[in-house]
Amino acid sequence: MLAFVQILIVCILPYFLVRLSKVLNIQHIFSGVFLCYVVGMGINNFIPRIPIDDEISSLLTMVTVALAIPLILMNSDFKSFLKGSRMMLTSFGLALLSVFIVCIISVFIFESYTEHAAHISGMLTGVYTGGTPNMAAIQSAIQADENIYGALTVTDIITGGAYLIFLSTVGPAFFRKILPHRPQDIQEDHQEQVSEWHSLDWKKRITTLIPAIGLAILSIGVAAGVSYLFYGSLDDSLFIIMISICGIAISFLPFSQRLMGAYEAGDYLLLVFCLALGCLSNFEDMMEASSIVLIYTLVVMLGAVLLHILLARIFRIDADITFITSAACIYGPVFIGQLVGVMKNRKMLVPGMTMGIAGIALGSFLGIFIYHLSNWGLEMIR
């Protein structure tokens, strides 16, 4: 009975937290991911009367992230991304390269300060190539310590919030001052597509989600099958990679764009994941790790952003393209609409959204790769 109550609370509470953040008008300051993790951590550490079963919380983290990844990816328009302008794709590639270089260097700088350097670089690679959703997938794949994940969640809201304020105020003027600025011929549909799913009642929403959830479960089955075929067991890294590949493959099917609510459902499941993961976190252990993690995060974010701008200047990438690419890689598609308004350049809307979603897809692969490459490099020098 207690297990059922715990599952019910963890699955429903994110909805009320998101609603509360909108009522208090703090959703632009504190993301749903941050709120869910902090509340979960608070329940586990500061409300001892609530019995939390760690096994139930751990099971919820595994199930929710496995379902969320294919749901988020399956109705993304990767065809539009692949057809994007050469300059846009070049800027996106330079942003990924910048994160790759800085995260690898940071491992060797910080490995004497923390034993979790490879885990941190792996997760930060995901965060700064497509936003926070990647961190959840990578944490699950590489089995990073829950307290390190918690510390990264806290430091990400600090550093990410500061950079968002910069982008929302003087950012466009700064980028246009140091980089070439010229109109781009980007032929895209600038009208935002408002999902019909939001206008449906709850019963119809659940009904329309059945095909998408069925495909997500099928993706899990395929990923598990491949893992058992190669390793004879469920390998976390291969499993996460395979369900990501399945989600991307589904997105190329003709009917994928008609899977209403798939992205929203996946996004919600990631909030459930963060709440369940918060329930596994130990506050004292997290605080011990947070100071070095904050410095680590600052070095990676500032280093990646500055290197991206330097490379954009060398390759003469347009200022607005560099601006929106940087935002898409760090925040995913979440703040693109807001930042396009700040830029007063609506041509960047659809390409920016597409790059943000592509970053979510690629970030998990890159983060897992960086983790394994870092471990290999550390073993070589020891």
> Are 107 and 121 a contacting pair, CB within 8 Å?
yes
Q: What is the DSSP letter of 67?
A: H
* Distance, CA of 137 to CA of 33 (rounded, Å): 13
Question: pLDDT of 252-272, one tens digit each?
Answer: 888 877 788 887 888 888 889
* Distance, CA of 331 to CA of 132 (rounded, Å): 7
| Cβ-based burial of 344 (10 A; exposed 0-12, middle 13-18, buried ≥19) | exposed
Tokens of residue 58, six digits: 């751990």
Tokens of residue 357, six digits: 């979603």
Q: How far is CA 361 from CA 12, 243, 285, 355, in A?
A: 27, 11, 31, 10
pTM of the model: 0.68
> Are 313 and 330 a contacting pair, CB within 8 Å?
no
Report pLDDT for 28.
66
* Distance, CA of 141 to CA of 138 (rounded, Å): 5
Q: How far is CA 167 from CA 99, 175, 328, 338, 344, in A?
A: 18, 9, 12, 10, 13
Residue numbers in the chain where pLDDT is lower than 70: 1, 27-29, 31, 48-49, 76-84, 183-199, 237, 283-289, 333-334, 337-338, 350, 382
